């Protein structure tokens, strides 16, 4: 990975994480918060939580399974596991509401079509 800083200065890194290691803790925090909202980052983190690694085999660190998780990845997996019923319930309710709204629109259009096709006049 080559970062072109100026026309005359470039930094070559073997691994992207070397860039992060060069940052102060405060800069890391701001950088990671910015990155964490990008779709590709969310996908890779979700892959690690669900499958244990990304498509290309990258993953955060794991330690032995204990009563208290020791890594951020293990903490995320544990938190999702504990809250999975609530997460699923919320997602299902959201999908049901979206489907009900779509069905309402469909029914309104079907009624308008029926009225036009069969010659009924709206009141």
The mean pLDDT value for 51-57 works out to 88
Beta bridge partners, 4, equal: 10
Q: First and final CA of the chain: distance in angstroms?
A: 68
Backbone angles phi, psi at 18, to 5 degrees: -60, -35
pLDDT confidence band for 69 (50 / 70 / 90) = confident
Residue 19 near residue 3, CB atoms below 8 Å: yes
Residue 12 CB contacts under 8 Å (≥ 6 apart), including other chains: 1, 2, 3
Average pLDDT over all residues of the chain: 87
pLDDT confidence band for 104 (50 / 70 / 90) = very high
Q: What is the pTM of this model?
A: 0.57
Give the domain ranges of the chain. Answer: 1-37, 38-123
């Amino acid at each position: 990975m080559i970062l072109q800083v100026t026309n005359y200065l470039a930094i070559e890194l073997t691994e992207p994480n070397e860039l992060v290691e060069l940052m102060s803790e405060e800069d890391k925090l701001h950088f990671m918060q910015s990155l964490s909202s990008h779709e590709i980052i969310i996908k890779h983190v979700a892959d690690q939580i669900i499958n244990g690694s990304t498509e290309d085999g990258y993953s955060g660190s794991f330690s032995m399974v204990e009563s208290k998780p020791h890594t951020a990845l293990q903490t995320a997996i544990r938190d999702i596991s504990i809250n999975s019923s609530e997460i699923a319930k919320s997602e299902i309710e959201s999908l049901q509401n979206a489907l009900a709204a779509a069905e309402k629109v469909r029914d309104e259009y079907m009624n308008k079509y029926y009225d036009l096709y069969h010659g009924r006049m709206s009141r």
